Amino acid sequence: MAKTKSVYVCQECGAEAAKWIGRCPACGAWNSYVEQVIHKEPASKQAGYISHESSPSKPVRIESVEMTHEERIDTKSDEFNRVLGGGLVPGSLVLIGGEPGIGKSTLALQVALSMADKRILYVSGEESVKQLKLRSDRLDKPSSDCFVVSETSLEQIFVHIRNIEPEVVIIDSIQTISTEWAESSPGSITQVRECAAALLRFAKESTIPVLLIGHITKEGTIAGPKVLEHIVDTVLQFEGDQHYMYRILRANKNRFGSTSELGIFEMQHNGLREVSNPSELLLSQHHEGLSGVAIAGAIEGIRPFLIEVQALVSTAAYGTPQRSATGFDVRRMNMLLAVLEKRAGFRLAQKDVFLNIAGGLKVNDPAIDLALMAAVLSSNLDIAIEKGICMAGEVGLSGEIRPVTRLEQRIMEAEKLGFHQILIPDFHPKRGERRLTNIQITSVRKVEDAFRVLFGQ
């Protein structure tokens, strides 16, 4: 007869206790413990994928392991392949997380419909089959060998897998899947952990890649236990603002590739469109003659692109000046304003300063410091920066322009987009090994030197 065990599990961090506790000692959350009854079944009857291999694994010497080159599975999406590191690895478990309505299901279904040469099983626990059909008609993708089913039982999902024998499995989402082995509601700590572990065993033993879509908490982290992120091979974060059209896919964890890559998509009425050259979309074509606009050469991951930095400086009407930034760290902006006042001699203490990164992006690259200060000074003096000039440089507390990484990539991106001059730090490495370019490269040592080039002051 099966043994039962009753435990109390924190729904915030997954900590277990033998009795109910008001406050979790692990994460400090109040009233987060919920009773869960767990059946201790034999290993052969536990939830998940039942392997047909009867022979147990044996330890072998690492030198005797035979390596075979496995071709990655092409998802027919260059941006998605870029983030994965070249495509789906057979037997991998990939987790995609993001805000509600950001486009996770659209991305997964679009990838499934694009892989016309693969047999794909799309399991949805949130939408019916008719809703999936409506979404696929809106995406207007070519017909493919894609099977869809609305199912929330893990045991039934494995039945469908054995019947269809797919080459790729997509689960939307892991929080809606439950197993009969754990007596708790779908989305709980136990259900998410057990279902993910069963899907991991299935992926590794069958070499069929599995894509999981996961919910996130209000703090922006993947919902469920942290062990979910440890189990999977790749954790992808799909982010962006619902009020803007751009979406960014980045890898927080990747066992088969780099975590520095990112993919950029544009949300349209017929699905997500890949943005191969984001610089052209992020630059406004109507800012000529307007003050407070500067172009910065930024690096996101290992990908260079030019962004537009906008600033507005006005006299404080209510006594206390306001400092506001969209897409940039406010504390760093305040530091740069202090450097601008102390080292360059421009008085901004009694003026409001508003900063915006065009396109709804959030940028952490310190190389946009110089462009930010130039945009603020341009708005303060009401003098427009000449068209065709961009800049890349980190600003130190003493007003010096510090070197930045991947400078050659930034210069090549600016040259490709038709800019005729770029301001870079004077202390950049490998100064004598730069290739010949058609863009004028101006080296500046301090912020005063950059302002003289831009404004003649």
Query: Quick check: is 67 in a domain?
Result: no
Cα dihedral across residues 87, 90, 95, 98: positive or negative: positive
Query: Quick check: is 57 in a domain?
Result: no
Query: Quick check: is 65 in a domain?
Result: no
Query: Quick check: is 305 in a domain?
Result: yes
**pLDDT tens digit sequence for 306-335:** 999 999 999 887 778 889 999 899 999 999
Do residues 301 and 317 share a domain? yes
Q: Do 232 and 245 form a contact (C-beta atoms < 8 A)?
A: no
Do residues 349 and 437 share a domain? yes
Query: Quick check: is 210 in a domain?
Result: yes
Cα dihedral across residues 112, 116, 121, 126: positive or negative: positive
Average pLDDT over residues 410-430: 84
Query: Quick check: is 225 in a domain?
Result: yes
Do residues 260 and 305 share a domain? no
Do residues 150 and 109 share a domain? yes
389 annotated to bind ligand: no
Please tell me the least confidently modeled range out of 144-153, 308-317, 356-365.
356-365
**pTM value > 0.95:** no
103 annotated to bind ligand: yes
Q: Please state the domain count of the chain.
A: 3
What's the CA gap between 388 and 219, in Å, rounded? 40
Tokens of 352: 């409001």
Flag whether pLDDT at 46 surpasses 60: no
Do residues 32 and 175 share a domain? no
Q: By residue range, what is the domain housing residue 14?
A: 3-43
Counting other chains too, the contacts that 41-47 makes at CB distance below 8 Å and 24 or more residues apart are 41/2, 41/181, 46/181, 47/154, 47/155, 47/179, 47/180, 47/181, 47/182, 47/194, 47/195, 47/198
**Angle, to 10 degrees, between the axis of helix 369-381 and the axis of helix 447-455?**
50
Do residues 154 and 210 share a domain? yes
Query: Quick check: is 59 in a domain?
Result: no
157 annotated to bind ligand: no
Tokens of 433: 């090994």
Burial tier of 353 (Cβ tally within 10 Å: 0-12, 13-18, 19+): buried
387 annotated to bind ligand: no
What's the CA gap between 152 and 194, in Å, rounded? 14
127 annotated to bind ligand: no
Q: Do 419 and 295 form a contact (C-beta atoms < 8 A)?
A: yes
**pLDDT tens digit sequence for 233-276:** 999 999 887 667 788 898 999 999 888 888 889 888 888 999 88
Do residues 257 and 176 share a domain? yes
> Where does a domain end: 251, 276, 301?
276
Do residues 396 and 350 share a domain? yes
Do residues 214 and 144 share a domain? yes
Q: What's the CATH code of the domain at 397?
A: 3.30.230.10
Tokens of 414: 């600016």
What's the CA gap between 96 and 229, in Å, rounded? 10
Q: Are strands 33-40 and 3-10 parallel, antiparallel or unpaired?
A: antiparallel
Q: What per-residue confidence (pLDDT) applies to 432? A: 46
Flag whether pLDDT at 225 surpasses 90: no
Do residues 109 and 252 share a domain? yes
Q: What per-residue confidence (pLDDT) applies to 106? A: 93
102 annotated to bind ligand: yes
Q: What's the CATH code of the domain at 83?
A: 3.40.50.300
Query: Quick check: is 52 in a domain?
Result: no
105 annotated to bind ligand: yes
90 annotated to bind ligand: no
Q: What per-residue confidence (pLDDT) applies to 130? A: 94
The residue ranking higher by pLDDT, 446 or 430, is 446
Of 224, 115, 132, nearest in space to 166 by CA: 115
**pLDDT tens digit sequence for 11-27:** 777 788 888 999 999 88
Which strands, in side-by-side order, build the sheet including 323-326? 323-326, 351-357, 303-315, 293-300, 389-391, 421-425, 440-444
Do residues 159 and 285 share a domain? no
Do residues 309 and 242 share a domain? no
Q: Where are the beta strands (DSSP E) in 201-341?
A: 210-214, 234-240, 246-254, 262-268, 271-274, 293-300, 303-315, 323-326
Break the chain down into helix, strand, coil percent, rounded to 5: 30, 30, 40
